[in-house]
Structure 1
Amino acid sequence: MTALTPHHPAPDAISTPLVLALPKGRILAECAPLLTRAGIVPETDYTDENSRRLRFHTSAPDLDVIRVRSFDVATFVAFGAADIGICGGDVLMEFDYPEIYAPLDLGIGACRIAVAEPADEAGTTDFTRLSRVRVASKYPNTTRRHFAARGIQAEIVALNGAMELAPGLGLSRLIVDLVQTGSTLVANGLVETEVIAHVTSRLIVNRTALKTRPEAISGWIARFRAALAAP
């Protein structure tokens, strides 16, 4: 089977509404005021997590909104299924799609990608003597790059949730996860020992869409920029 590769929007897409990909969950609520200031008012049930619809019209006739998993926003935009999106910096770091241009830092969804370990063992590992370490994470690429920069090969235990259970149950010595307040780490006997990167959400666009529909895409970038500057 031929592997999928990011593709260009079809020529007849020029006359169709642009698609804005938004992440489900916490960021969806955080970006609501920004969308309003940018003149985007989606159909009322787009914030309803129980709604089975995933695509919604908006007050702007040239823009539809889709609601997808936060990790999928970048993929939808990179592959041309969405023209623009709001995406966490953690996702952009992990996938590093060359097809994506990220012109604006929206300043929402502030958090950090961090290394954590059991509190009673924190500070006891001499990483300068390690050549290999096992790490539980949903960020395999980011994690490997981080430890490789220190000459350490990271063996990844891929988990999509409940990362904090891994050290206590013997899955891994360390975890790399997205941290906002750190309260979940503390509740599970872990301590944050290293910050890999501070991240916020960004406005992203498909580079090909920017070339084929420059006025429309640039117009929305300008509206988001104005929304950020608004009091």
Structure 2
Amino acid sequence: VVLASGRIGHSIRGISEMLGLEGPIIACNGADAFGPAGENWMHHQLDRTSLDLVLDFAIENDVQANVYTRQEVTFLGDSEWSRQYLKRLNQSGDRHRIVPRHKEVDQIRTLDVSKVIFVDEPGKIQRYRRKLEPQLNPHAARATESEPEYLEFLAASASKGAGLKVLAERLGIALEETAAIGDFLNDIEMLETAGFSAAVGNAIAPVQKVADVIVGTNDEGGVGEFIESILEGADRLQ
């Protein structure tokens, strides 16, 4: 069992260890993947032109932007949204720092960035996406959403599906023999890549549409239901 998340690597590793999982992980929504010992298996850096575009938009429109590298999360500015997000990072043990919106942005532009995330009200998130996505070079960068309040910008080649392909190749497993489960837009490529896929019952409609089966909600133990079905034979879910 492998965890694939939008979190940075060491945060996911802590959760994996808590669950007794010792294998590889997929981090930053597929921008990064790490082997069992923490070795780098995959990294897709957000290119400088796309990074500049996203950061400039955040500054000009006073948007809370959080910049992810493989080591830490940098908060561009201090806001109510950053404080709410910080509570989640503190719970997971993510390394982070808060920098003034204007003073250190030039230094941030030089970082090896895995992704940038905007945090705001869902309606505003959709407006930001409509404005920014057409300006991105589709061969260099892409946008996705991991929650209604989160808009994420990654390298065009980065996705959980890409991470799954790398892990399958490294582990010598045919993609047809893999399975995946998810609930939001950032999971779609992974579900489309896996040999067998499921959406939890509380997944949004586009995710349920691409999944092979629908299981119970996460609160109802849908993930466990899916894993058990794989171990027992997936026909139980058909």
Q: Same fold (TM over 0.5)?
A: no
Question: Relative contact order: is structure 1 or structure 2 higher (C-alpha 8 Å, sep ≥ 6)?
Answer: 1
Structure of larger gyration radius: 1
Q: With structure 2 as the length reference, what TM-score do the two structures score? A: 0.28
Report the structure, 1 or 2, having the larger strand content: 1
Q: With structure 1 as the length reference, what TM-score do the two structures score? A: 0.29
Report the structure, 1 or 2, having the larger helix content: 2
